[in-house]
Amino acid sequence: MNPIHNAFVHVFPLGFSIIIIPVYSDNYTYLILQGTEATAVDPGDANAVQGELKRRGVSLTHILCTHHHFDHVGGVSSLKSATGCTVIGPVDRRIPSLDQGLSEGDRLTVGSFMAEAVSVPGHTKTHLVYHFPSANVLFSGDCLFLGGCGRIFEGTAAEMYASLKKLASLPDDTLIFCGHEYTEENLRFACSLEPENAAVSSRLRKVGGLRRKSLPSVPGTLWEEKLTNPFLRVHEQTLRSALRMEGAADWEVFGAIRRLKDRY
Q: Which residues are catalytic?
A: 67, 69, 71-72, 123, 142, 180
Rounded to 5 degrees, what are φ and ψ at 31? -115, 125
Helix, strand, or coil here: 69? Answer: coil
Q: What contacts 222, CB < 8 A, 6 or more positions away?
A: 138, 167, 168, 170, 171, 172, 173, 174, 176
Whether cis (ω within 30° of 0) applies to the bond prior to 195 is no
Displacement of CA 211 from its chain's centroid (Å): 18
From the list 59, 12, 1, 16, the residue with the least C-alpha distance to 173 is: 12
Asked if residues 128 and 89 have their Cβ atoms less than 8 Å apart, the reply is yes
Q: What contacts 241, CB < 8 A, 6 or more positions away?
A: none
Asked if residues 58 and 36 have their Cβ atoms less than 8 Å apart, the reply is yes
Asked if residues 176 and 220 have their Cβ atoms less than 8 Å apart, the reply is yes
Q: Enumerate the β-bridge partners of residue 18.
A: 10, 32
